[in-house]
Amino acid sequence: MYPLFRSLVLLLIAATAAQAAPLVEHHATAPDLMARPDLRLQQQNGTLAPAPDPVGARQVIRARAGAKQAGKVGKAALILPFDPLGPGSRIRVTAELFLPPGTPANSIHLFDLECKFCGQPGNPGLRLYLRHGRLRVDRKKIGGGHAWADDSAPALTSGRWHLVTWDLRLGTDAAPGHSQVYLDGKSVLDNRGRTLPDVPAERAAIDRLQIGITANSNPETVTLYLGAVTLERWP
């Protein structure tokens, strides 16, 4: 992790030090992350592999997802399962992302926080994605009706590393949750509302993170590099 990004992660962690200590896992390199015992790879017309940092000397992960074909999107994502988190819980994902020059920065899903075992088809959950280079949150798969139509986030710049943080408090319509997205340490999206699948309360939870290119809806192949990843959970 680059020094600037490391300091930003430490500041985010320190800001919540007064709360109950989170469960933290930090993966500084591609080999470290790929060695997670229960890690799964999702490669649908896509590939994941360790690769040299395009602008540095370390090893990172290169995700490459092919064009959408016959209604199926390309996927190249890592799946990190964890114990279910329900209403009132909190999760924060921080990751270094690099879009190579020439790669489309539209219709690329980056993070999925979803529930595999909620008893609902399609693994309902929230998605963080790029629309015309800007980060947005999609709630369609939890019954939220539509994405939070907020295009206020600045566009990512290709050819350089960005630090993206998604801080999510889990809630329902009756007790709304809170979604905050940070780009390079600066708050760029702040929304409140349902953040859990619209299922009976005893099954309203998330239990896994997908990260990388979780869906590519473009008519061409896209590439993304993934650096250090930190996952924090407050059950």
CA distances from 23 to 18, 35, 40, 184, 231 (A): 14, 19, 20, 23, 8
Per-block average pLDDT, block size 10, for the chain (235 residues)?
A: 63 58 93 92 97 95 95 96 96 98 95 87 90 93 72 92 98 94 97 90 91 96 98 97
- 189: domain range? 3-13+30-145+153-234
Assess contact for 228 and 96: CB atoms under 8 A: yes
Q: What is the pLDDT of residue 4?
A: 61
Q: Per the domain annotation, does 24 fall within a domain?
A: no
Q: Per the domain annotation, does 25 fall within a domain?
A: no
3-state class of 5 per DSSP?
helix
Query: How many CA atoms are closer than 13 Å to the CA of 116, on its beta-carbon side?
Result: 10
pTM: 0.90
Q: What is the pLDDT of residue 181?
A: 97
Q: Per the domain annotation, does 66 fall within a domain?
A: yes
Q: Per the domain annotation, does 21 fall within a domain?
A: no
Q: What is the pLDDT of residue 29?
A: 86
Q: Per the domain annotation, does 67 fall within a domain?
A: yes
Rounded Cα gap, residues 72 and 118, in angstroms? 23
Q: How many domains does the chain have?
A: 1
Q: Per the domain annotation, does 208 fall within a domain?
A: yes
Q: Per the domain annotation, does 22 fall within a domain?
A: no
Rounded Cα gap, residues 203 and 122, in angstroms? 15
Q: Per the domain annotation, does 19 fall within a domain?
A: no
Q: What is the pLDDT of residue 2?
A: 67
Provide the CATH number for the domain around residue 122: 2.60.120.200
